[in-house]
Chain A
Amino acid sequence: AQSVTQLGSHVSVSEGALVLLRCNYSSSVPPYLFWYVQYPNQGLQLLLKYTSAATLVKGINGFEAEFKKSETSFHLTKPSAHMSDAAEYFCAVSVAGNQFYFGTGTSLTVIP
């Protein structure tokens, strides 16, 4: 079975500071891992995905994530937060792109 845990339902950072959003997964088979961003009243936009290629994945808007099998983690980072990064972020795991399992989400606040 697959599951995702996102530590920290709310994260606040200052503009220009490092963004770190945590995601740990559980999967009985090699997983596909995803990070999505959701702005209010909108659908989900894919930030980046891991599909068994390079463990360090670069996504849009300056985000990246590193797959660490030994830690079963897929944390999302961005070196310098921008005001426009304020949104809800979801980590998800799937097996071969079929059923997705989402984390509970992390709300990112960027303080000017």
Chain B
Amino acid sequence: GAVVSQHPSRVICKSGTSVKIECRSLDFQATTMFWYRQFPKKSLMLMATSNEGSKATYEQGVEKDKFLINHASLTLSTLTVTSAHPEDSSFYICSANPIAGASYNEQFFGPGTRLTVL
């Protein structure tokens, strides 16, 4: 149980295009999902906290207009990288926090999405 999926797993796009990444909790509901960015050989940097039915909370230094987050349901959050540029190339990981149950104090992580902007 407690599986989180991400789609796509890998995407290559041209500079200036927008890319949408989906994060789904497959067998549990999550009012809160988190989006992280990981640079090569670096730790995870929290970008934003996605709240179902309300606006996302962005960490300092993260451009909300560039990284659009939508949490439309209790099982789906999306991250859209708008007008992507090569510096946006990175590994993006989402996680979800179950509403209730034995694992309510955990976050379950998706497998990540490798974004390459040419």
Contacts and interface: CB of A to CB of B under 8 A. Distances in A.
Interface of A: 32, 34, 36, 41-46, 49, 51, 88, 90, 94, 96-100, 102-105, 107
B46 A41 contact: no
Interface residues of B, number: 24
Nearest to A42: B111
Given A34-B106, A99-B49, 20 more contacts: A32-B105, A41-B91, A41-B112, A41-B114, A42-B111, A42-B112, A43-B4, A44-B95, A46-B108, A49-B106, A51-B105, A90-B43, A97-B106, A97-B107, A98-B32, A98-B97, A99-B46, A102-B44, A105-B41, A105-B42
Given A97-B104, A98-B32, A105 B109 contact: no
Contacts of A46: 106, 108
Interface string B16-43: 0000000000000000101000000111
Interface in B62-118: 91, 93, 95, 97, 104-112, 114
B17 to A, nearest CB: 23
A39 to B, nearest CB: 10
